[in-house]
Amino acid sequence: MKRICINCGSSSGFDPCYMAMAQRLGQALVNQNYELVYGGADVGLMGMVANTVMNSGGVAIGVIPKSFACKVSHQGLTELHVVDSMHERKTMMFNLSDAFIALPGGFGTLDEIIEILTWAQLGLHPKPCGLINVDGYFDRLLSFFDHAVKKGFIKLEHREMLLVSDTPEDMLKLIQAYRPPEVEKWIGAKTRI
């Protein structure tokens, strides 16, 4: 495993703990010799992770759509790929990465990590996906996933594919130990009428 994609907010959030965790994650990546793949911006949590990686001598690879590259792209990265669309961005980030971690963020962050998790659930890849649950940020989302298991819309084995930790160091251990489950999405899915 060489590169980890970090999905996170282009905002800093209201609580300083989010930026502190972004900095801690960037440092943890460098300390364990992982290269960063991320959305290419120099603002918010995204910018903090990238700046920490670069300032610590690590490798940071950004992928950003040209529609907003001129507004927020990070000019100090090891590599910056400017692509035509958000779909192309997500595809390139996937292809460049061996694992995926989300920090707090909004719709875009959730879209990115949930899509990658869905692809894993469908058996399209074996790459680990995780959330760093800073100050309980993802508690309600995780409760919803547990609710979906209870209601029969997510299999427990698929729910357990989403790794969750409170710290970057623990998340990196979970990612290193991850083995994808061998369960098909549709086994037992047909209902009898």
Q: State the Cα–Cα distance between residues 44 and 16, nearest whole angstrom.
A: 11
At 28, which helix (H) or strand (E)? helix 16-31
- pLDDT tens-digit readout, 57-93: 999 999 999 998 778 888 999 999 999 999 999 999 9
What's the pTM?
A: 0.93
Tell me which of 18-32, 89-103, 139-153, 175-189 is least confident: 175-189
Q: Where are the alpha helices (DSSP H) in 56-159?
A: 66-72, 86-96, 107-121, 139-150, 156-159
Burial 30-54 (b: 16+ CB within 10 A, else e): beeebbbbbbbbbebbbbbbbbbbb
Residue extents of the structural domains in the chain: 3-177
Phi first, then psi, for residue 61 (nearest 5°) are: -115, 120
Classify 3-177 by CATH class: alpha beta
Beta-sheet pairing, 129-132 with 99-102: parallel
pLDDT digits (tens, 9 = 90+) for 149-163: 999 999 999 999 999
